[in-house]
Amino acid sequence: MSVAQAPRILLLGKDGQVGWELQRALAPLGELVALGRAGGTEPATGAPLVGDLADLEGLAATVQVVRPAAIVNAAAYTAVDQAEREPELAERINADAVDVLAQAAARCGAWLVHYSTDYVFDGSGQRPWREDDPVAPLSVYGRSKRAGEEAVRASGCRHLILRTQWVYGVRGGNFARTMLRLAREREVLRVVDDQWGAPTGADLIADVTACALRQALAGGVHAAALSGTYHLAAAGTTTWCGYARYLIEQARQIAPHAGWCVHTIEAIPTAAYPTPARRPANGRLDTTRLQTAFGMHLPPWQHGVARWVAMVCSDAWAGWPNPA
Ligand SMILES: NC(=O)C1=CN([C@@H]2O[C@H](COP(=O)(O)OP(=O)(O)OC[C@H]3O[C@@H](n4cnc5c(N)ncnc54)[C@H](OP(=O)(O)O)[C@@H]3O)[C@@H](O)[C@H]2O)C=CC1
Ligand SMILES: Cc1cn([C@H]2C[C@H](O)[C@@H](COP(=O)(O)OP(=O)(O)O[C@H]3O[C@@H](C)C(=O)[C@@H](O)[C@H]3O)O2)c(=O)[nH]c1=O
Ligand SMILES: [Mg+2]
C-alpha cells in the first residue's frame, strides 16, 4: 500500500501510557496523526490541530480537518481519587469530549476506538464481568467513563470500546512504579488484598488495538459486525497485594543491589486503606468476546509484568525508578 492510499488515523493522548505505545503499534496501519495536549499541525496543509480534550469546538474542527478513517482516543482524566474533588473536569474529558469525538466520527464515517475501565462495574460477585453485564460505577471517575461509553454508543459511529484495567507502562505513573519506589523507602508495605483484577500492559493494549483496528479497517460485512464493546485485560487475576508481591520479587531478582528496604508486604482489607474514591472488589474481566471476535490470545499477566520489571530495572533505563 502506498502512503497516499494509507488510511489516516487520528490518535489523541499520544503521551499517556497507552498513547505512547499506540504511536508504535498504529504506525504500520496507515498515516498516523498523533496529538498530545499541545496539539499539532495537519501534515498536508500545516493547519493547526487541537489535542486538548477540554477544547470541545477545537476538537470537532480537528476531526473535520484531518478526516481520518479512524480516531483512537487514548486521552482521559485518569486520577481516580482526585476526580472525587473535580467531577466537572472528569466529566468534560471522559464524557463531553468523547461525545464530540463520537459525533464527529459518525459524521465523517470514521471508526472510533475508545478505552474504558473495570471501574464502571460495582465489583459485586466473583464471576468475571461480561460486556453486557449491568454497569453501576462506585466513583466519579467510573461514572464519567460510563457516560463516555454511552455517548459513543448513542452517536451511531462504528466503534471499538475496549474496557481494560490496572494499566502499567514504561511511560507515566502507575501502581507498579509506586510499589517499586516504596519498596526502596519502607520496610513494611500494606496493600489491599480483596480487590481483584489483572495488571495489563500498555504495550499489550496497543498491540491488541492495532490488530483489532486493522480488521475493522479492512472493511466488508465482517468488519461492520465488529463494532461494539470488548473487555481487554491480561489473562489470570490477582489482587493489588498479589501484584505488589510478584513485582517486588521480580525486581529483587533482576536488581538485587538496588537498595530494597522492604521485608514485609502485608495483605490488608480495603477498609484498612481508606481512599476518597471507592473501587470495585471484583474487577475481573471476561475477555472471551475479544478473543473470539478477533482471533487472538491474551497472555498471563505475569508475562508482561516480568518484562516491564526487566525494562525499568535495567541500568540502561536512565530514569529508574521515576522517569521524567
Ligand atoms: N491507567 C489505568 O489503569 C487504566 C486506564 N484505562 C483507560 O485507558 C485509557 C488510557 O489510559 P492511560 O494511558 O493509562 O492514562 P494516562 O493517564 O497514562 O494517559 C492519559 C493521557 O491523557 C492526557 N490528558 C488528560 N487530560 C487531557 C486533556 N484535557 N487533553 C488532552 N489530553 C489529556 C494525559 O495528559 P497529562 O499527563 O498531561 O494529564 C495523558 O497523556 C483511558 O481511557 C483510561 O481511562 C482503563 C483502565 C485502567
Ligand atoms: C499505594 C498503595 C495503594 N493501595 C491500594 C489503593 C487501591 O485500592 C489500589 C490501587 O491503587 P491505585 O490508586 O494505584 O490504582 P487506581 O488509580 O485505582 O488504578 C485504577 O486506575 C484507573 C484509571 C482504572 O481505570 C482502573 O482499572 C485502575 O487501574 O491499591 C494499597 O493498598 N497500598 C498502597 O501502598
Ligand atoms: Mg491512580
ipTM above 0.95, yes or no: yes
Which pLDDT score is estimated for 314?
74
Question: Do 302 and 198 form a contact (C-beta atoms < 8 A)?
Answer: no
C-alpha cell at 40: 499539532
Which of 11, 15, 18 most suits a substitution to test ligand 1, by most atoms within 8 Å of the C-beta? 18
- Using alpha carbons, select from 167, 157, 151, 71 the residue that is nearest to residue 119: 167
Ligand 1 pocket member 229 (CB < 6 A): no
Give the number of the ligand closest to the Cα of residue 167.
1
Q: Residue ranges of the chain with pLDDT lower than 50?
A: 1-4, 323-324
User: pTM for the whole thing?
Assistant: 0.96
Which pLDDT score is estimated for 256?
85
Closest approach atom of ligand 1 to CA 79: 17
Active-site residue 115, yes or no?
no
Which pLDDT score is estimated for 19?
98
Which pLDDT score is estimated for 6?
87
Ligand 1 pocket member 115 (CB < 6 A): yes
Which pLDDT score is estimated for 172?
83
Give the number of the ligand closest to the Cα of residue 23.
1
- Name all domains of the chain by residue range, CATH numbers in brackets: 3-173+199-236+279-301 (3.40.50.720)
- Using alpha carbons, select from 23, 164, 145, 168 the residue that is nearest to residue 93: 145
Range 181-186, long-range pairs (CB < 8 A, 24+ positions): 181/321, 181/322, 182/262, 183/248, 183/251, 183/260, 183/261, 183/262, 184/258, 184/259, 184/260, 184/261, 184/262, 184/321, 185/261, 186/261, 186/262
Q: Number of C-alpha atoms within 13 angstroms, CB side, residue 62?
A: 30
Closest approach atom of ligand 2 to CA 164: 27
Cα 222 from chain centroid (whole Å): 26
